[in-house]
């Protein structure tokens, strides 16, 4: 099952140790607290054809496609409602829009499978149309849907063995096709893995290669760090994108990377000031 409890504990410790995060992380703590123990209740399932799965990966196509998704509208609607209820006390702007989304669940204004598939496919037009029909902003709709989709995808990806990524050389996820959210260096040799920004599956990747533009020019690849934490920022000067990377040999080896991501927002701010954009 997803490591929700571990994520929650780490964020709580981060807030205690770094008061500057007290205004940022409580929202995500509340989300994790709401999800913990309910990871199997999203009502979202993924059907794959084992006959063609290996060939898809070999050909550079992710295992899952939007049409692989099966949604139980009642269960998914209930799970989404619990997410909205957790968000409402935590947001200053957008509460009225979240209430509109809550009211739309189960009505003909909102097709949950369509909007969740659009999130997976990064289909902005469909999300904008769905948000307009409800009367809310598209970014807020996507923000509310993401915890549901990511919980379901993480539950699925944890059943996938490392062999699923055998021979995979792409910078996007072999399971769901999303871009890398973070990197990690592990083992004595510091071998590099990428972690999916959506389902959190990890796969091996070349140490000196940009996962976003495939640049391998060592002179255009570098990194910087801030403070003494185990996480640094890998940058590509060819595409001006960056990827936060944790060297687990320096600490936090057991911390889920999506929690590490939230606890290192200060690195995102520095990277942005330096003129780099995040790859996801």
Q: 126 with 175, same domain? A: no
- 257: domain range? 162-278
pLDDT, tens only, 208-236: 999 999 999 999 999 999 988 999 999 99
Give the rounded distance of the alpha carbon of 257 from its chain centre.
10
Residue 53 confidence (pLDDT): 64
- Within-domain flag for 242: yes
Q: Cβ distance 29 to 12 under 8 Å?
A: yes
- Within-domain flag for 5: no
Q: 186 with 100, same domain? A: no
Q: 190 with 147, same domain? A: no
The CATH number that applies at residue 225 is 3.90.1670.10
Angle between helices 4-17 and 26-35 in degrees, nearest 10: 160
Residue 52 confidence (pLDDT): 58
Q: 94 with 153, same domain? A: yes
Q: Which among 108, 142, 157 is the end of a domain?
A: 157
Separation of alpha carbons 106 and 12, rounded Å: 34
Please state, as a whole number, how many other Cβ atoms lie within 10 Å of the Cβ of residue 141: 25
- Within-domain flag for 20: no
Reduced to 3 states, what is the DSSP secondary structure of residue 71?
A: strand
Q: 243 with 201, same domain? A: yes
Q: 231 with 203, same domain? A: yes
Residue indicated by tokens 């702007």: 93
Q: Give pLDDT < 50 ranges for the chain.
A: none
Residue 51 confidence (pLDDT): 56
The reported pTM is: 0.92
What is the number of structural domains in the chain? 2
pLDDT, tens only, 50-81: 655 666 777 778 988 888 899 999 999 999 99
Q: 198 with 236, same domain? A: yes
Q: 213 with 179, same domain? A: yes
Separation of alpha carbons 160 and 11, rounded Å: 27
Residue 61 confidence (pLDDT): 85
């Amino acid at each position: 099952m997803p490591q929700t409890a571990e994520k929650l504990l780490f964020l709580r410790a981060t807030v205690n140790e770094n008061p500057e995060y007290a205004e940022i992380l409580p929202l995500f703590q509340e989300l994790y607290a709401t999800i913990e123990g309910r990871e199997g209740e999203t009502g979202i399932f993924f059907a794959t054809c084992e006959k063609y799965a290996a060939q898809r990966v070999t050909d550079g196509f992710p295992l899952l496609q939007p049409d692989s998704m099966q949604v139980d509208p009642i269960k998914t609607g209930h799970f989404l409602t619990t997410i909205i209820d957790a968000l409402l006390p935590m947001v200053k702007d957008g509460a009225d829009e979240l209430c509109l989304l809550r009211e739309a669940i189960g009505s003909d204004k909102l097709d949950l499978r369509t909007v969740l598939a659009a999130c997976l496919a990064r289909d902005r037009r469909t999300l904008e149309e769905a948000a307009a029909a409800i009367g809310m902003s598209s970014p807020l709709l996507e923000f509310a849907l993401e915890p549901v989709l990511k919980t379901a995808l993480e539950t699925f990806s944890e059943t996938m063995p490392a062999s699923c990524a055998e021979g995979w050389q792409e910078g996007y996820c072999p399971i769901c096709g999303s871009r890398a959210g973070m990197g990690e260096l592990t083992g004595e040799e510091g071998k590099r893995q990428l972690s999916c920004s959506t389902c959190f599956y990890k796969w091996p990747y070349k140490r000196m290669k940009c996962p976003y533009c495939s640049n391998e020019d060592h002179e255009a690849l570098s990194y910087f760090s801030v403070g003494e934490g185990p996480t640094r920022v890998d940058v590509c000067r060819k595409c001006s994108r960056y990827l936060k990377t944790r060297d687990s040999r320096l600490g936090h080896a057991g911390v889920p990377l999506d929690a590490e991501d939230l606890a290192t927002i200060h690195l995102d701010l520095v990277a942005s000031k330096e003129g780099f954009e995040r790859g996801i």
